[in-house]
């Protein structure tokens, strides 16, 4: 309680019924014993005994009442404490349920985060695969474009003059660019060889003694659809034996390689080989040493 000035005042006994009852009981006991003392008169032994028995009965009754009051107070405290304990148990149970709900929410969040992470990883893999496919597609397109637009240098007709004694052999090799763009750094290296039987392998062709060789010839640049005649002139004169062989059953082989670079700065090479028997007829393509990249 507070007074009009707002200061705290002791609580009145009327605010606590149990305290009021205890105070009344003590006051009654005091009045009883005072009254008994006032009414006390000379008595004989039998009256004294009867009085003491009566006093003992009163005391027992009072003690019983006090014990009952104490028991009632204790019971109220237990009931109140039990209510508080129940409330505490309920509160703890609610807190435990809330903690369990939070744990479940945390687990759900963790599961969701893992699912999101897995989704991101899968999306990343899909993006990487798409990027790889796009890169491969681009490379395929670029390769196809280079293949279509690049230079292609090859050899064409071969013209071989009849051998004359005392003079080196002469031949003309036509080189042409059949591609759509320029061929750069074009170089040709050609040979002429003679063999009695027809050659069947590239190894046998290379092993034949070569007396007539054209040194490495730099042609430079060949524009699209342009041609160039490379002149093969031997460095040794023909004698009677050479002429009889070339004009007879021997085979003449004209072969070599052409190197160049396209406009995409990629190097290429064409190897060629043609032959004929005697000094008449067309040169035929060899079944070996003919390739291009």
Domain coordinates of the chain in residue numbers?
Answer: 41-149, 153-292
Separation between Cα atoms, residue 154 and residue 49, nearest integer Å = 156
| 8 Å CB contact between 190 and 256 | yes
**pTM as predicted:** 0.55
Separation between Cα atoms, residue 254 and residue 159, nearest integer Å = 10
Structure tokens, 58:
């009163």
User: Residue 223: in which H helix or E strand, if any?
Assistant: none
Q: Which bin fits 84, alpha (ψ -120 to 50), beta or left (φ > 0)?
A: alpha
Q: What is the pLDDT along the chain (293 residues), one digit of tens a residue?
A: 445 454 445 455 455 566 666 566 667 666 766 666 666 656 666 666 666 666 667 666 776 776 667 666 666 665 666 555 566 556 667 767 776 777 777 777 777 777 787 888 888 888 888 888 888 988 899 889 888 999 999 999 999 988 899 998 889 999 999 999 999 999 998 888 889 889 999 999 988 866 556 666 788 999 999 999 988 887 788 889 888 888 889 999 999 999 999 999 999 999 999 999 998 889 999 999 999 99
Phi, psi of 291 (to 5 degrees): -160, 165
Residues linked to residue 227 through DSSP beta bridges, in sequence order: 176
Q: Which bin fits 260, alpha (ψ -120 to 50), beta or left (φ > 0)?
A: beta
Report the SS3 class of residue 3.
coil
Helices assigned H by DSSP within the chain = 17-38, 45-149, 202-207, 240-247
Place of tokens 């009677």: 240
Question: What are 223-265's pLDDT values in tens digits?
Answer: 999 999 988 887 788 889 888 888 889 999 999 999 999 999 9
Report the SS3 class of residue 168.
coil
End-to-end CA distance of the chain: 111
> Which residues 6+ apart lie within 8 Å of 276 measured at CB?
160, 251, 252, 282, 283, 284
Q: Which CATH number fits domain 153-292: 3.40.50.300, 3.40.640.10, 1.20.1630.10, 2.60.40.10?
A: 2.60.40.10
Res 175: pLDDT: 95
> Which residues 6+ apart lie within 8 Å of 282 measured at CB?
276
Phi, psi of 171 (to 5 degrees): -150, 155
Report the SS3 class of residue 239.
coil
Q: Can you give 68-93 as a three-state secondary structure string?
A: HHHHHHHHHHHHHHHHHHHHHHHHHH
């Amino acid at each position: 309680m507070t007074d009009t000035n707002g200061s705290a005042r002791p609580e009145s006994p009327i605010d606590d019924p149990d305290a009021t009852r205890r105070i009344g009981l003590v006051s009654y006991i005091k009045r009883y014993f005072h009254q008994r003392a006032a009414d006390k008169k000379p008595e004989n032994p039998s009256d004294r005994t009867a009085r003491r028995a009566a006093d003992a009965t009163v005391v027992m009754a009072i003690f019983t009442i006090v014990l009952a009051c104490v028991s009632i107070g204790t019971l109220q405290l237990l009931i109140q404490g039990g209510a508080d304990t129940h409330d505490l148990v309920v509160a703890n149970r609610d807190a435990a349920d809330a903690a369990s709900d939070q744990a479940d929410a945390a687990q759900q969040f963790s599961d969701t985060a893992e699912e999101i992470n897995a989704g991101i990883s899968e999306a990343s893999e899909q993006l990487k695969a798409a990027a790889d496919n796009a890169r491969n597609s681009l490379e395929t397109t670029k390769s196809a474009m280079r293949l279509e637009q690049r230079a292609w240098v090859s050899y064409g007709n071969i013209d071989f003059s009849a051998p004359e004694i005392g003079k080196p052999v002469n031949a003309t090799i036509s080189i042409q660019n059949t591609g759509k763009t320029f061929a750069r750094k074009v170089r040709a290296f050609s040979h002429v060889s003679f063999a009695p039987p027809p050659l069947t392998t590239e190894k046998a062709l290379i092993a034949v003694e070569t007396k007539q060789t054209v040194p490495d010839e730099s042609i430079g640049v060949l524009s699209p659809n342009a041609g160039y005649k490379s002149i093969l002139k031997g460095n040794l004169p023909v004698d009677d034996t050479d002429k009889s062989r070339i004009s007879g059953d021997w085979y003449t082989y004209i072969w070599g390689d052409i190197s160049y670079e396209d406009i995409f700065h990629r190097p290429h090479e064409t190897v060629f080989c043609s032959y004929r028997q005697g000094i008449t007829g067309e040169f035929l393509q060899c079944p070996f040493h003919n390739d291009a990249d």
